Amino acid sequence: MVHEKILVLDFGGQYNQLIARKVREQGVYCDLLPYNQSVDQIREYDPIGIIFTGGPNSVYETGAPRIDARIFTLGIPILGICYGCQLIAYTLGGRVTHADTREYGKRAIQYSKSLLFAGVCAENTCWMSHTDFVSSVPSGFCVTATTPTCPAAAFEDAARKIYGIQFHAEVHHTVEGEKILHNFLYGICGAKGDWTMSNFVTEQVERLRQKITGKKVLCAMSGGVDSAVAATLIHRAAGENLTCVFVDHGLLRKGEAEEVVSVFRDRLGMNLVKVDARERFLNRLQGVSEPEEKRKRIGEEFIKVFEAEAKKIGTVDYLVQGTIYPDVIESGKGASAVIKSHHNVGGLPSVVDFREIIEPLRDLFKDEVRKVGTELGLPDSVVQRQPFPGPGLAIRIMGEVTEEKLKTLRDADAILREEILKAGLNREIWQYFAVITSTSTVGVMGDARTYEPVIALRAVTSVDAMTADWAKIPYDVLETIANRIINEVEHANRIVYDITSKPPATIEWE
């Protein structure tokens, strides 16, 4: 099936992936590609609409991103957001002016009659993030929205279907922003909405069957959402010809290794090889405190273990990789086919003899991957699993990793997760976990002095993990968590809660 497509041209703004996600949430497929696509490339892509994203530049700066003016002669509807809006004005003869002060945050906005704002309240709130603004629109355009400080918060040439908005409709702070995007996609571009995860699963399984039927396929199963969904999708197409290798390095959360085996081997009937390498990894981490050295050693040891297991299996035709769309975007490679030829990924291809790599999720955002997992019948405990770093608990233990610290951390982390779930906060909070810090403090338990490492709790809300705010967990829930950890977990005498946002902090501590 050939899907209708929106082309999102990337000018380097902070919300660019969010724009693409919001388009797909409306049931329309889109790709986020670099802004310097040629007119011929755009014709070949054949989109039903084009969106110019925001960006950090001024249109007057030397070397600022530009567009070929011929794009406006293609007859394809165009929506410019923030910098994209200014670029439309600049390219077509309008005037862009540098403001004395940067306009950032919520602003009152007034909309005029426009197909773009159909059904949107005339007096509303939008989210601004800019310094330059359009002070004069190009000939043939009319202003369709204003704010007290922005004379052309939106403008359009409806006859040519060219629209510019200075505000960010993709950000949830813009009231009815999703309706504005919906109006562009369906009212202006004529979208039918043929992008669903159900369609994706059906089409992808059929495509994979044609490619890999009768071939040997190997997958490194981490237990994370991406590899779990990728393996399940491949299993639908390859059946018993898929072998999953799950390396238990002893750095997983409480009960996760057992759940991987239970779900994928026992419930789904996959050919899953579980390798118990806990002692090997602990030995490699002995005496190591520096975070990057931990990562390096864990990565090297994983490759060695995986290589040994792969040799037992012999030559395979395909290696499964859980690459998702943000990985593709951030690597700068743009859109690619579902299955791509042999290349080096994460160190594995250099130690495994195979013909090609299969990346069945490379066109999907994380939230879409979760939806595919649900379509495939995976349990919520897998599909909604918290983001988890590759090195596992090793980088949530400050300093040297020991079996004693791992047990303490697993137990504390399990209590945190249990109480968040019990309080019904698990879908509101992006990520939550415990950390064993490198600072020890004095405590008194049972009239005896204790001296144990401080345990920190971290919980954040986020849309895409690019930025994050600390989660406002109710005090009574925090109190229950802290009390349970102190009373039920060995080597715990002090609990602290991290209330730092990202930036300036990162989500993880190491």
Model confidence pLDDT, tens digit, residues 46-67: 999 999 999 888 888 888 999 9
* 137-166 pLDDT, tens digit each: 999 999 999 998 889 999 999 999 999 999
Which residues, listed in sequence order, are joined to residue 81 by a DSSP beta bridge? 165
Place of tokens 């996760």: 256
- Encoding tokens for residue 270? 């996959």
Indicate the pTM of the whole model: 0.79
Integer Cα distance of 404 and 14 in angstroms = 42
Token pair in block for residue 188: 């202006």
Whole-angstrom Cα distance, residue 4 to residue 77? 14
Q: What is the pLDDT of residues 221-251, one digit of tens each?
A: 887 899 899 999 999 999 999 999 999 999 9
Measured distance CA(111)–CA(428) in Å, rounded: 32
pLDDT (average), residues 210-229 = 89
What pLDDT score does 462 carry? 83
CB 355 within 8 A of CB 340: no
Domain boundaries, the chain: 5-188, 197-383, 402-497
User: Which residues have a catalytic role annotated?
Assistant: 82, 168, 170
Q: What pLDDT score does 335 carry?
A: 32
Please indicate whether the domains covering 197-383 and 402-497 agree at the CATH topology level.
Answer: no
Which amino acid, one-letter code, is at 78?
I
> Closest by alpha carbon to 14, among 442, 394, 467?
467
What is 5-188's CATH number?
3.40.50.880
If you classify domain 402-497 with CATH, what class do you get?
alpha beta
Choices 1.20.5.510, 3.60.20.10, 1.10.3210.10, 3.40.50.620: CATH for 197-383: 3.40.50.620
